[in-house]
Amino acid sequence: MDKISIIIDGKKVSVPPDTTILEAARKTQINIPTLCYHPDQNVKGNCRVCIVEIAGANGFAAACCTTVKEGMEIKTNTIRIREARQMVLNLILANHNSQCLSCKRNGNCELQTLSQELNIEEEFLDKVVDLLPIDQSNFSIVRDQTKCIKCGRCIEVCNDVQGVGAIYNVNRSCDMKIAPAYEKGLSEVPCVYCGQCINVCPVGAIYEKEDTKEVWRALEDPNKHVVVQIAPAVRVVLGEEFGMETGSIVTGKIVSFLKRIGFDKVFDTNFTADLTIIEEGNELLHRIKSGGKLPMLTSCSPGWIRYIEFFYPELLQHLSTCKSPQQMFGALVKSYYAEKMGLKPEDIVVVSIMPCTAKKTEAKREEMHLNDYYDVDIVITTRELAKMVRESRIQLRELEEEDFDVPLGLSTGAAAVFGATGGVMEAALRTVYEVVTGDELDKIDFKNLRGIAGFKEATIPVGDLDVNVAVANGLKNAKILLDLIKEGKANYHFIEIMCCPGGCIGGGGQPIPATNSIKEKRIEAIYQVDLQSELRKSHQNPAIKELYEEFLIEPLGEKSHKLLHTHYIDRSKNNKDKRD
Amino acid sequence: MDLENNTMEAIEKIGNTPDKLIEVLIQCQSLNQQNYITEEQLNLISKGLNIPLSKAYGVASFYSMLSTSKKGKYVIQVCNSGPCYVNNSKTIAKAFQDALGISLGEVTADGLFSLEYTSCFGGCQIAPAVKINDMVYGNLTEEKVWQLVDSLRKEAV
Amino acid sequence: MKSFVSKLCGKIMPLSLKEYREHGGFLGLEKALFYMSPQEVIDEIKESRLRGRGGASFPTGVKWQLVAAEGDEEKYVVCNADEGEPGTFKDKALLEGCPFQVIEGLMISAYAVGAYKGYIYIRGEYPNSIDLFKKAINILKKEGYLGENILGQNFSFDIEVRSGAGAYVCGEETALIESIEGNSGSSRFKPPYPPNCGLWGKPTLVNNVETLANIPLIISQGAEEFLKLGTKGSKGTKLISVSGNVVNKGVFEVEFGISLREIIYDICGGLEGNKKLKFIQVGGSSGACLPELLLDLELDFDEFKKHNIGIGSGAILVVDDSCCILDFMRVTTEFFKHESCGKCTTCREGNRHIIKAIDRMIYGSGTERDMQIIKDIATIMRDSSLCGLGQAAPIPVLSLLKHFKDEFQEHINGYCSTGVCNFKGEGKSHG
């Protein structure tokens, strides 16, 4: 198609048809301010911050949603337009609780940055912020509507990307707000706590329930033995919070930091990721051999678990009974490790550092509550870890790298890839192939299962059997597979599902922003960790072998059943969380 | 239970595709003496039309003719748009408040009346006008307001 | 007064197909189906220079051509009967006076643009109209005017009646489309315009009731007859709704070219109690407020445009001199505050700040700054809002500021010449 010629701020530019003014401007290094615009979402056009002047037009045009026309003459930086943008922003600020200093997003807030960039010198309109209660009804996510600027990004991610629909526009005009039905708390509606809404929120209207104080308290409690685990997707992302390049691998620095602040042992969730592969791999083989429910669905993503419990309870039998690596870790620390160390399980505090807000609620599930203690006591997100680093005043960049403690800190590259979509499947295939055939797998990189695409599938010959697998991330993609299963049309043996787009590297507890281009770099780093590992197959992990020899005896055995496997709940009838 | 059956019936009759949501909400509200959509109804509608409850609630809360909270048997809506305003609609609103003993936005204790402002409903020719459920009453004076409330009270008995 | 588009209203039983036919009903449709190609129908409408009667006055034939030009198999025609503009009740007269005429217009439009499905979106506040249309459609289905192969021709068409549920914004075509799809009535940004991408993303023709009611007459009598009515730039007649402090309120059909003064004093009998006129508001609550000196303006799209005002829906609200400008401005702004969909910042947030500033002025604590705030916010709303609602909401505000500046100054000085605002502490009238 012929290009279209336009003039932006006196500069002649040629762009393809259907280009928006915003895109055309950015191509010419003219940076029109935006607020509701998000690169991975539909254009909304509702904040009106990106207005520009078009010669001959009456009013302004929003650059994000106006496509260029031949000969269009656009001005983006006149007194009139700057003052108009200031006015628009003032209208937003008048309805925004601007207590920035104590805001979760202080220093990383799109509205704050914009106010600075547009040179807001005075909030001259009356404050009209409604004093609405803060929703702290659950263990994962907090909503503070006094901060909400009604951009609608959270609604899009919740409805169109995740297909959950926990929140929507309520009321209209200046009474419009974003809330669950009947403005209930999130714990009373089918929210899966994935936290994707947090990741797209430009301000501090939605954030994780913070648990760092509990961690600090445990660390200073002389009667407690405090153990920490780090999820695979945390180590490739934390650096972003400290100005490091996206995709920086900071595993050793995190270990070093955690030791410095007083954890008794610094272990790795990757250890139980390897263990998950052994248990889940054997479960799959068992189901195939014994005619069990297929396809088998992975169970390590707690947002996904809540989703199927709420929306497809009739398919719960398809879920692997394996607990997630986080929970397996907690269960082992309070049994195997406690025994080994001669500690009482009730004296141990297990802290998890996760990329995920749903993990906070997972840890509080009743099934994860054996005897009188939880498998995992405190869960914090990557963002909270960054806060602890800042609070401690330790300079992460300057820390020497250290190794995890043994034995629960040993892991393989197969565990590392759990952090990206397709990783669990790849890790499982590496092991299942060798366990079944007894041959060594030559090509261990399953590249067609990698990458950010929402749905991937493959057929892998394993001995006599062609194993059909599928990988989905984002719950709307999961839904497509679930509908196929319901209709009996899903001809797969094994399906990996990750709740969050891109997998755990895009989790709801990760640093913000988390756009697709950032996620792709995080994924690259995940596979770097795999490549740099000495061992890259879970069944080769010597600490796992030792665990079976000393304690578990065999996969799917009695102890495994008690400690490492779980069951699920039909939540379709009663949305409410069970809380103690 | 009747309400549940009637709601299901309404969905069946009108259709269970998402685009029928507003039609279904209007119909379901009319099934209810108190002129609102109950939470139970909204749950049925959300399941029946296969849309999230949050959206069903969002849509119900968007349109001013739909309500998710109890209203009176008679919903008295006083027009407060320009044409009725210049024909003294504020006096009429005041008269209704006095006659009913409630403020705008409230429901009488016996559940018989609720009183609210509404945007223009096309009764400008007989301004000041009010809409009570589906009926429009116009050319109102303070005296007529008292008579109207009286006759509705009698009708309800 | 003229009798053209509304000539059957009140003359025939609204649901009598027989009477409608006896008075020339469906001659337009028959002519179109039997003797004209779709393009010829569009050409005839273009020829008539009919312009939309809903408020935007876009040339109807051009709009039809846009939809016809789209290659899509699936297209929709929609009758916009969400007459929500305060002071407007002229569509109701057509809806309840002669439903078949509106339906016939919709059918001809469907034939012309190649649509098989039509919707009539009637505001929920008109339950009688909704009832009438449902019945009318059933009658037409029974008589073979709707359904497969209508009148034995290769034209199939079906109509569904949809009810609004109390949202003025749904009169805006993209919000109306959202509402038909079962959503909250939030406006979409344009372009894409509905003729290219409308209902369910398909090409969609949205026309106002009065526009459609003109169609059968133009087709059956020919564009030439229609062109005899009106002025050079504004052809045909217009239904106007007159309300307020006037002796005869009601809907009147007038020929373009009539002056506002003639409408108010000749047709409507002047002001009640012979009071002095303060201003008229033309086009509903989103219309400009014009002082006495503009009364000799002729009803004509182009004449109005010269003064930067619109005819809008054809509502005329007559206001006498007992009205306080600020109090009136508060009422219209309150209306828009109630009716904004809440999607875009300026419209969602703007109205309440205007109201706050007005309140300070009518309760005696207003300053020059408040006047400036009102003006600045009204301006940003007009220039930056996403849809027509937000862009038009400040029009009355800005026109009142322009024509009645003294009265604002008066309030800043602690005085209200109409006596409505009582600054001595008994200002109950603002309730």
Inter-CA distances, A92 with A42, A95, A530, C353, Å: 21, 5, 46, 12
Sign of the Cα pseudo-torsion (C178, C179, C180, C182, in order): positive
Cα–Cα distance measured from residue A373 to residue A349, given in angstroms and rounded to the nearest whole number: 10
pLDDT digits (tens, 9 = 90+) for B22-75: 999 999 999 999 999 999 999 999 999 999 999 999 999 999 999 999 999 999
Do A236 and A249 touch, CB atoms closer than 8 A?
A: yes
For residue A573, what pLDDT is reported?
82
**Mean pLDDT, to the nearest integer, of A40-46?**
97
Express each pLDDT in C159-169 by its tens digit.
Answer: 999 999 999 99
pLDDT digits 0-9 by tens, A138-164: 999 999 999 999 999 999 999 999 999
Residue B84 assigned ligand-binding role: yes
Question: What tokens appear for C161 in the block?
Answer: 């009646």
Task: Choose which CATH entry (3.20.19.10, 3.30.70.141, 3.40.50.11540, 3.90.1560.10) describes domain C17-227.
Answer: 3.40.50.11540
Q: Which of C314, C258, C221 is nearest to C7 (CA)?
A: C221
CA proximity to C105, closest of C77, C84, C125: C77
Contact B79, B128 (CB under 8 A): yes
Q: Please, where are the H alpha helices in A325-441?
A: 325-332, 338-341, 358-362, 382-392, 413-416, 423-437
- Cβ proximity of C336 and C307 under 8 Å: no
pLDDT computed for residue B1 by the predictor: 58
Instruction: Please give the CATH number for the structural domain made up of C238-320.
Output: 3.10.20.600
B45: distance to nearest CA of chain A, Å?
13
Give A476-531 as a 3 state SS string.
HHHHHHHHHHHCCCCCCCEEEEECCCCCHHHCCCCCCCCCHHHHHHHHHHHHHHHH
Task: List all chains that touch chain A, counting a touch as 3 or more CB pairs closer than 8 Å.
Answer: B, C
Residue A574 has pLDDT above 90, yes or no: no
Report the residue from C340, C352, C380 with minimal CB separation from A172: C340
Which domains are present in chain A? 4-77 (3.10.20.740), 94-208 (3.30.70.20), 212-564 (3.40.950.10)
Spell out the long-range contacts of B109-113 with Cβ–Cβ below 8 A and sequence spacing 24 or more. Answer: B111/B34, B111/B70, B111/B72, B111/B73, B112/B72, B112/B73, B112/B74, B112/B152, B112/B153, B112/B156, B113/B72, B113/B73, B113/B74, B113/B75, B113/B76, B113/B149, B113/B152
Question: Could you tell me if B80 and B117 are in contact, meaning their C-beta atoms sit under 8 angstroms apart?
Answer: yes
Q: How confident is the model at residue A369 (pLDDT cuts 50, 70, 90)?
A: confident
The strand order across the sheet containing A225-230 reads A265-268, A225-230, A348-354, A378-381
Domain C325-430 has CATH 3.30.300.30: no
Distance, in angstroms, between A139 CA and closest chain C CA?
Answer: 31
Q: A88 and C380 in contact by Cβ < 8 A?
A: yes
Q: Does the pLDDT of residue B108 top 90, yes or no?
A: yes
Q: Which of B13, B16, B20, B22 is the best mutation test for C, with the most CBs of C within 10 A?
A: B22
Q: For A181-204, what is the mean pLDDT?
A: 98
pLDDT at residue A575 is higher than 60:
no
Token look-up 């307001």 returns B145
B55 contacts A167? CB cut-off 8 A: no
Q: Could you tell me which CATH class the domain B74-156 is placed in?
A: alpha beta
Q: What confidence score (pLDDT) does residue A344 get?
A: 96
d(CA A289, CA A216): 49
Report the residue from C337, C356, C383 with minimal CB separation from A173.
Answer: C337
Q: What percent of chain A has pLDDT over 70?
A: 99
Q: Are C179 and B22 spatial neighbours (Cβ–Cβ below 8 Å)?
A: yes
Does the pLDDT at position A101 exceed 50?
yes
DSSP symbols for C201-253:
GS-EEEEEHHHHHHHHHHHHH-HHHHHTSB-SSSBSEEEEEEEESBSS-EEEE
Task: Spell out the domain ranges in chain C.
Answer: 17-227, 238-320, 325-430
Q: How far apart are the first and last CA of chain C?
A: 40
Is the preceding omega at residue A355 within 30 degrees of 0, hence cis? no
Does B28 appear as a known binding residue? Answer: no
Contacts with C350 from chain A: Cβ below 8 Å: 91
Q: Report how far residue C108's alpha carbon sits from residue C21's, in angstroms, rounded to the nearest whole number.
A: 16
Whether the CB-CB separation of C268 and C249 falls below 8 Å is answered with yes
Residue-wise pLDDT for A236-283, tens only, equals: 999 999 999 999 999 999 999 999 999 999 999 999 999 999 999 999
Q: Give the model's pLDDT for residue C425.
A: 44
Determine whether the interchain pair C384/A59 forms a contact, defined as Cβ–Cβ distance below 8 Å. yes
SS3 A342: coil
Q: Are C185 and C175 in contact (CB under 8 A)?
A: yes
* Phi-psi label, residue C368: left if phi above 0, alpha if psi -120 to 50, beta otherwise: alpha
Residue A580 has pLDDT above 50, yes or no: no
Give the DSSP H/E element, type plus range, for residue C410: helix C405-412
Joined together, the tokens standing for residue A66 give 């106006």
Contact A490, A295 (CB under 8 A): yes
Q: What is the amino acid identity at position A324?
A: S
For residue B66, the SS3 value is coil
Strand A4-8 with A73-75, pairing: parallel
| Amino acid code (one letter) for C75 | K
Residue limits of CATH 3.40.30.10 in chain B: 74-156
Cα–Cα distance for residue pair C49/C46, rounded to 1 Å: 5
Residues B7/B31, Cβ–Cβ less than 8 Å: yes
Residues belonging to chain C: 431
**Mean local confidence (pLDDT), A308-319:** 98
What is the interface size between A and B, counted as CB pairs within 8 Å?
Answer: 39
CA separation for the pair B37, B27 (Å, rounded): 9
Determine which of B54, B62, B65 to mutate to test the interface with A (most A C-beta atoms within 10 Å).
B54
At A1 the pLDDT is 66
Q: Is B124 among the annotated ligand-binding positions?
A: yes
Measured CA to CA in angstroms, residue A415 lies from A286, A447, A484, A527, A547 at distances of 22, 16, 29, 11, 16
Question: Among A38-52, A202-216, A351-365, A564-578, which is the least confidently predicted range?
Answer: A564-578
Residue of B62, A45, A42 whose CA lies nearest to C387: A45
Interface touch A174/C342, C-beta < 8 Å: yes
Catalytic residue among A191, A456, A504, A538: A504
How far is residue A458's CA from residue A450's CA, in Å, rounded to a whole number?
11
Contact A360, A382 (CB under 8 A): no
> How many angstroms separate the CA atoms of C72 and C117, rounded?
13
- Six token digits for residue B83: 């044409």
pLDDT of A578 > 60? The answer is no
Q: Give pLDDT, residue B148.
A: 97
Indicate the average pLDDT of chain A.
96
Chain B residues touching residue A486 (CB < 8 angstroms): none
Residue A529: is its pLDDT beyond 50? yes
- Give the model confidence (pLDDT) of C10-36 as tens digits: 999 999 999 999 999 999 999 999 999
Active site residue A194: no
Which tokens is C110 given? 């469907």
A 10 A CB-CB count for A465 gives 13
Where does A43-171 have alpha helices with state H? 79-94, 110-117, 153-156
Q: Are B14 and B51 in contact (CB under 8 A)?
A: no
B26 and chain C in contact, CB less than 8 A:
yes
C-alpha torsion A106→A110→A111→A113, nearest 10 = 80
Radius of gyration (C-alpha) of chain B in whole angstroms: 17
The Cβ of residue C56 has, within 10 Å, a number of other Cβ atoms equal to 14
In DSSP terms, A496 is beta-bridged to A471
Per-residue pLDDT tens for A170-186? 999 999 999 999 999 99
Q: How many residues does chain A have?
A: 580
A169 → closest Cβ in B56, B58, B68: B58
Of B22, B121, B124, the CB nearest to C243: B124
Catalytic residue among A208, A283, A309, A434: A283
Pairing, β A465-473 against β A494-498: parallel
Residues of chain C with pLDDT under 50: 424-431
pTM score, two decimals?
Answer: 0.96
B: neighbours with 3+ CB pairs under 8 Å? A, C
Q: Answer whether A475's CB lies under 8 Å from A307's CB.
A: yes
Closest residue by Cα to residue B2 from B49, B39, B41: B41
What ipTM score was computed for the predicted complex, to two decimals? 0.96
In this complex, which of A159, A171, A189 lies closest to B61 when CB atoms are compared? A171
* Smallest Cα distance from B150 to chain C, Å: 24
Contact A182 B62 (CB under 8 A): no
Contact between C212 and C159 under an 8 Å Cβ cutoff? The reply is: no
Report whether C40 contacts C139 (CB < 8 A). Answer: no
